[in-house]
Structure 1
Amino acid sequence: MFKLMRLEWKKLNQRSVIGEIIIYWVILMFCPVFFIKMVMPFFGESYAAAIELNLYIQMGLILFGGSLINQVFIDEYKNKTISLSFGYPISRKKLFTAKVLFISLFVFLATILAFLLTGLTTYLLDQVFPIINGQPTGSDVATYFSSMIIGSLIVTLIGFIPLFFFGIWKRATVPTVICSIATMQLPNFSSLLYLKPEFVIALLCILGALSIYSSIKTAESVGEI
Structure 2
Amino acid sequence: MTNLIRLEWKKLNQKTVWMELFIYMLILIFFPTFFIKVVIPAFGQSYAAAIELNGFIQMGYVLFGGSLINHVFIEEYKNKTISLSFGYPINRKKLFTAKVLFIALFVFFATIISFILSGLTTYLLDQFFPIINGKPTTSDMLEFLKSMMIGSVLITLISFIPLFFFGIWKRAVVPAIICSLFIMQLPNFSSFFNIEPDVVVIILSILGAISIFLSLKTAESVGEI
Q: Give the TM-score normalised by structure 2.
A: 0.99
Q: Which runs of 5+ in 2 are unaligned?
A: none
Task: Give the Cα separation in 1 of the matches to 2:110 and 2:202.
Answer: 21
Deviations 1:144-188 (A, max 9, x none): 011101111111000000000000000000000000000000000
Kept after mapping to 2: 8 A contact 1:4/1:95: yes
Show the counterpart of 2:127. 127
Cα deviation, residue 195, structure 1: 1.1
Q: Which runs of 5+ in 1 are unaligned?
A: none
SS across alignment from 2:134: coil
Paired amino acid for 2:126: D
2:93 is aligned with 1:96: no
Paired amino acid for 1:118: S
Deviations 1:193-213 (A, max 9, x none): 121111111110010000000
SS across alignment from 2:80: coil
Show the counterpart of 1:180. 180
Aligned residues with identical type, % of pairs: 71
Show the counterpart of 1:208. 208
Show the counterpart of 2:7. 7
Cα deviation, residue 8, structure 1: 0.1
Q: Give the TM-score normalised by structure 1.
A: 0.99
Show the counterpart of 2:161. 161
Deviations 1:108-154 (A, max 9, x none): 00000000110000000000000000000111111101110111111
Q: Which contiguous aligned blocks of 4+ residues in structure 1 show a shift greater than 6 angstroms?
A: none
Show the counterpart of 2:26. 26
Task: Give the Cα separation in 2 of the matches to 1:213 and 1:223.
Answer: 16
Paired amino acid for 2:79: N
Q: CA RMSD in A?
A: 0.6
Task: Give the Cα separation in 2 of the matches to 1:26 and 1:224.
Answer: 37
Cα deviation, residue 42, structure 1: 0.5
Task: Give the Cα separation in 2 of the matches to 1:175 and 1:204.
Answer: 17
After superposition, residues 30-179 of structure 1 pair within 5 angstroms as: 30-179=30-179
Task: Give the Cα separation in 2 of the matches to 1:217 and 1:10.
Answer: 26
Paired amino acid for 2:132: I
Task: Give the Cα separation in 2 of the matches to 1:148 and 1:9.
Answer: 25
Q: How many residues align?
A: 225
Kept after mapping to 2: 8 A contact 1:126/1:132: yes
Task: Give the Cα separation in 1 of the matches to 2:223 and 2:137.
Answer: 50
Paired amino acid for 1:155: I
Kept after mapping to 2: 8 A contact 1:168/1:223: no
Task: Give the Cα separation in 2 of the matches to 1:183 and 1:43.
Answer: 23
